[in-house]
Each structure stands twice: as structure tokens, then as C-alpha cells.
Amino acid sequence: MSRSIDLAVIPGDGIGQEVVAQGLKVLNAVLPEDVKLETKEYDFGARRYHASGETLTDADLADLKAHDAILLGAIGDPSVPSGVLERGFLLKLRFAFDHHVNLRPSRLLPGVATPLAGQPEIDFVVVREGTEGPYTGNGGTIRKGTPHEVATEVSVNTAFGVERVVRDAFARAQARPRKKLTLVHKNNVLAFAGHLWTNVFNKVAEEFPEVTTDYIHVDAATIYLVTDPGRFDVIVTDNLFGDIITDLAAAVSGGIGVAASGNINPSREFPSMFEPVHGSAPDIAGQGKADPTATVLSVALLLRHLGYDDEASRVEEAVSADLGARGDSTRTTDEIGTALAVRV
Ligand code: ATP
Ligand code: MG
């Protein structure tokens, strides 16, 4: 394992700035002295856009590619027209760096409020395909602006793209104690894509005999995520279904303040990017009210991705302990970050 980490840091907009500072504080605290951490900060987001009209240039991509990983706060601001930063930065980076595995763990940690009755066991990971499905911009409009306007938005599913994400999900299930993988799709109605996903899933399953497999339609999955979330260990699903069920998963397992994610390029050809699920939250930006926990848990994912398993576990344990001890106390972003840095 390399004993140095070269990290690109993109604080971004709004509370992104505040939470990333805490993520770095915890990262610095948890790394042993012999691991050299180098960081380079980038100013992507609303400021860069207003200053230069740029979102993410080819030269930026070349710079970012040289790093081991990327830590992102949040990109997005009401002053920028909707979609500009989403497509010009977030989607552009995802496709350029082939972040085809979108990883979103959901764990209900002690002391965290859930809208579900009781305190159910929730500990699962959603592996969402990140580069295909209906999110490729494949489609179009005819007779635009007329009463007969027609819009198509084609869901793209390739054997290559489905197989690599399914394989990644099986490997993740294999590495977990329960070793269970659930395919979520809608193969009874979306028959063409559903057939491909189901076939690939069953074929790859033969290589992972220890993994128990299951299939659930996406509509039923939304019910189980609320009524019986304990049945899930690892879920693999397409880009659109994954987008929707991971927000539901975040809502049942403690909300936006603790939801972490990774945009992963498993081959390591490009750096993977780790970020809290929440956005830039302009309503609370600059007030020290943002909860940095989701960013700190994203740092744990980053550490595990780079092979620092012990350090990742220490960060997760620090978060669990801190949440368990929180009570009703209202602490600032900085105070929570410092408490976590002390605990690791
Ligand atoms: P985006 O379009 O960038 O995803 P959004 O409008 O979906 O943004 P968020 O920025 O995620 O929304 O914020 C949604 C709500 O959650 C806001 O009221 C915000 O204040 C709150 N929120 C988001 N992140 C945090 C956080 N880390 N700590 C506390 N509250 C948060
Ligand atoms: Mg949002």
C-alpha cells in the first residue's frame, strides 16, 4: 500500500466549504504519521462559473486525473441557472472519469432519529449504476412547443456496463458478513432492459456461489425499504431506480446529515470521488449549522477505497460514538468536526 495520499479537494458551494474543512480535519487526525497527505484545492462551482463562465475544462480534467482521489463538498447555487453545474460539472466529471459505480451505504447509527417505527436494523449498501440508464442524454424532442410535442428519453443498458456494475456489487456482497445481493429492477414491465439485467445478474451469480441472491421490483423495494429494511444487505440497480431509492434509503437511515457516497472507478484508471449526498444548502450556508457527519463518513469511504481499512473503521466508529453521545446538544459544524477528530 502506498504511504501517501494525493487528494484533490473541491469544497464547492454553500455548506460544501464548511463540511469539507471538517472532513479534512478528521482525515488529518486519523492518518498515521508516516502517511504523507498532500491536498490541492480546486475552486469549481458557482464562483468559478461567475468569474470565467467555466464549469470544468479539459485542462481541469487533466489536473484532477493526477490525484489518488477527490473529496467534494457540494456544487450548486441558486445564482447559476439550473442544470448548468449539474451537467457541466457533475455529469461531465462522472463520464470523463468513468465513475460507473455509485456507492451509497445506509446504516442507522445509534442515537440517530428515523421516521420508521421502533429502531430497525438498517445496514445495507446500494450499488447504483452511474453512467447508463436514462441519464445518458439519449433522446430528443419533436414538434417542440406544439400541442403535439413528443419527447423521448432512452434508457441505455449495455451488456458491458451492466456486467461490470453487477460484478462489483457481487464482490462487495461477498466481502460482507451476510453475503446477500438483491437486484432491484422492473423486469416485468421494462422487459428489454430487465431481461439484460436479470440475465447478467444470474450469469455473474454463478461465479459467487457464497452470495445469496434475491430479486425485487423497484416499486416493492420502496415498500420494503420502509417496512422491512433489515432484509437488504447489498442492492444493485440501474441509474434511475438507484437515484430514487437511495434518497429514500437516506431518509429512513438518519437523513441527509449522515448520508455519504462514493463515485467509483473500480479499475483505478481514474480517481474516484467521495461526497456527502446533500447539496450546498444555501438556506443554512455560512451559519455554522451544517452537519459535517456525511462528509466525514465520505472520508471513511475514501480511506477504504485507497486501502486504509483500519483508518476507515476508526472514522466510522468515531461517528457512531459521537452520534450516540449527542443528545439534544446543538453544536456548530466546527465543534462536531473537532469532536470527531479527537475521537479518531
Ligand atoms: P441540491 O440541488 O444541491 O441537491 P437541494 O436543494 O436538493 O440541493 P440540499 O442542499 O441537500 O438540497 O438541502 C436540503 C435541505 O437539507 C435544506 O433545508 C438544507 O438546509 C438541509 N441540509 C442539507 N445538508 C445539510 C447538512 N449537512 N446539515 C444540516 N442540514 C442540511
Ligand atoms: Mg438534492
What is the tens place of the pLDDT at every residue in 206-242?
A: 999 999 999 999 999 999 999 999 999 999 999 999 9
293 and 236 share a domain?
Answer: no
pTM flag (> 0.90): yes
- The reply to whether 178 falls in a domain is yes
Our count of domains for the chain comes to 2
Q: What is the phi/psi pair of residue 307, to 5°?
A: 95, 5
Sheet hosting strand 212-217, strand order edge to edge: 36-41, 4-12, 69-74, 272-276, 260-264, 101-107, 123-129, 234-237, 180-185, 212-217
Q: How far apart are CA 71 and CA 263, in angstroms?
A: 10
123 and 194 share a domain?
Answer: yes
Q: Report the nearest-CA residue for atom 30 of ligand 1.
A: 290
Q: How far apart are CA 168 and CA 263, in angstroms?
A: 13
Q: If pLDDT is split at 50, 70 and 90, which confidence band does 328 have? A: confident
User: In sequence order, what are the beta bridge partners of 9?
Assistant: 41, 71
Domain boundary among 253, 276, 307: 253
Residue 215 CA, distance from chain mean position: 23
Look up the domain containing 225 and give its range: 114-253
Report the DSSP pairing between strands 260-264 and 272-276.
Answer: antiparallel
- The reply to whether 196 falls in a domain is yes
Please say if the pLDDT value at position 110 is more than 90.
Answer: no
The separation between the first and the last C-alpha atoms of the chain, rounded to the nearest angstrom, is: 21
Contact predicate 237/126, CB 8 Å: yes
Q: What count of residues does the chain have?
A: 344
310 is in an annotated binding site: no
69 and 132 share a domain?
Answer: no
Query: How close is the Cα of 91 to the center of ligand 2, in Å?
Result: 14
Q: If pLDDT is split at 50, 70 and 90, which confidence band does 192 have? A: very high
Condensed to tens digits (0 to 9), the pLDDT of residues 22-62 reads 999 999 999 999 999 999 999 999 999 999 999 999 999 99
199 and 265 share a domain?
Answer: no
Indicate the top mutation candidate among 18, 75, 256 to test ligand 1's pocket, ranked by most ligand atoms within 8 A of CB: 256
Condensed to tens digits (0 to 9), the pLDDT of residues 124-135 reads 999 999 999 998
Quote the percentage of the chain above a pLDDT of 70. Answer: 99
Q: If pLDDT is split at 50, 70 and 90, which confidence band does 1 have? A: low
179 and 231 share a domain?
Answer: yes
Residues lining ligand 1, Cβ inside 6 A: 15, 19, 74, 76, 256-257, 278-281, 283-284, 290-291, 294
Q: Could you tell me the CATH number of the domain that includes residue 95?
A: 3.40.718.10
pLDDT of residue 329: 80
Taking the CB of residue 270, how many other CB atoms lie within 10 A of it? 18
| Neighbouring residues of the ion ligand 2, judged by CB less than 5 Å | 279
126 and 242 share a domain?
Answer: yes
Domain boundary among 218, 234, 253: 253
219 is catalytic: yes
- ipTM comes to 0.94
230 and 292 share a domain?
Answer: no
pLDDT of residue 301: 98
Q: If pLDDT is split at 50, 70 and 90, which confidence band does 2 have? A: low
Please say if the pLDDT value at position 10 is more than 70.
Answer: yes
Q: What is the phi/psi pair of residue 258, to 5°?
A: -125, 10
- The reply to whether 207 falls in a domain is yes
